[in-house]
Amino acid sequence: MVVTGGGRSAGGGGAVPLYGHGTEPARQPQEAAADPDEVGYRGPAACAAAGITYRQLDYWARTGLVEPGVRAAHGSGAQRLYGFHDVVVLKIVKRLLDTGVSLQSIRTAVRHLRATDTADLRRMTLISDGATVYECTSPDEVVDLLQGGQGIFGIAVGVVWSDVRAALAQLHAERVDTGETLVGHNAADELARRRSRAG
């Protein structure tokens, strides 16, 4: 169990706050990493799926808050490329910032989220009292936090995961190995294509 912030834990066992550590945890392989058809998403697609502005995305990348996991922008004209896991983290960061969680706590939470493997990430719930972010992996841990009066809001990472997957399915992606653009399925575009064929 890991989280960020002031260091108070919930009463009894259960959820433990995520704490910052002096070293960056090793990144676990992402779900798509073993897939030869791995895709990445350029900045505009990552922004659209995460619900953030390009300015936020750029600032977070430059300050190291959320860096692109597929390809960083090195040199003139290079495009950052974000993986699916990265976009999930971007959306979670936006929600934490919107609720007033401190940047220090968010940085620690990001390190933890990026080091968490895919299967565990989807089962995780983040609860915050504004000062500390707690990771909960079972309903009992969530109940313990709420009974302790510490939890103010929660983020079910599995729901964020599903939202991001649905959003990215509508957007263009790029094959990491070839650079080929993969066109997302947009219902409005499909309707336009059908009308043009009928007319």
Cβ atoms within 10 Å, residue 39: 20
DSSP state of 36: T
Rounded Cα gap, residues 163 and 4, in angstroms: 24
Tens digits of residue pLDDT in 179-189: 888 887 654 45
Say if pTM beats, i.e. exceeds, 0.85: no
Under-50 pLDDT residues of the chain: 1-2, 4-13, 21-37, 187-188, 190-192
Rounded Cα gap, residues 135 and 18, in angstroms: 7
Cβ atoms within 10 Å, residue 45: 21
Q: What pLDDT, on the 0 to 100 scale, is given for residue 195? A: 53
| Residues 86 and 46: beta-carbon distance below 8 Å | yes
Which domains does the chain carry? 37-121+157-198 (1.10.1660.10)
Rounded Cα gap, residues 104 and 65, in angstroms: 10
Rounded Cα gap, residues 157 and 126, in angstroms: 7
Rounded Cα gap, residues 56 and 73, in angstroms: 16
Phi/psi zone of residue 43: left (φ > 0), alpha (ψ -120 to 50 degrees), beta?
alpha
Q: What pLDDT, on the 0 to 100 scale, is given for residue 91? A: 97
Rounded Cα gap, residues 29 and 27, in angstroms: 6
- Extended strands (E) in the chain: 16-17, 39-40, 125-128, 133-136, 153-156, 173-175, 181-182
